Copies of this chain bind each other. A is one copy, B any other.
Amino acid sequence: MKSHRKELWFDIPSRRDYINITREVEREILASGIKEGLCLVNAMHITASVYINDAESGLLKDYDAWLERLAPHAPTSQYLHNHTGEDNGDAHLKRQVMGREVVVAITNGQMDFGPWEQIYYAEFDGRRRKRVLVKIIGE
């Protein structure tokens, strides 16, 4: 069994954003030399998500508006978590809707994807350096 590990770093200038990281993950699968296996891609921070969906700019705005309806940022006082001095209570909730991680099959040395699958990093509390972990195991 082989394994491969890489951290992807982000420093998103806004509070929230949605970044396509498919190419970065593909590069690590190639670098791993693994032909058959599984690739875990997870946010290492708890106010961000990694998810798989469409690379369509309207949809990214739909996600953002919908998450704001399900877990609004303001008023920040509505979250007990923010009484600790934080203002990111909403980000911890939004991240649960979109998820922490994806697991991707590797077949013949490539991501085993349907026609529209793209891997996204979703930032819900940006303006600082944060990481995504890519961990690959297989042969």
Contacts and interface: CB of A to CB of B under 8 A. Distances in A.
B56 A81 contact: yes
A73 interface: no
A45 B54 CA distance: 9
A32 to B, nearest CB: 12
A30 interface: no
Contacts of A44: 113-115, 117
Interface string A97-111: 111111101010000
Interface in A77-104: 79-84, 89, 92-93, 95-103
B100 A52 contact: yes
How many copies of this protein are present in the complex? 3
Question: What's the dominant secondary structure at chain A's contact region?
Answer: mixed
Interface residues of A, number: 57
A100 B102 contact: yes
A138 to B, nearest CB: 6
A93 to B, nearest CB: 6
20 contacts: A1-B138, A1-B139, A42-B105, A45-B116, A46-B52, A53-B92, A53-B96, A58-B80, A58-B84, A59-B92, A63-B92, A66-B71, A70-B70, A96-B98, A99-B100, A100-B102, A101-B102, A103-B103, A114-B131, A137-B137
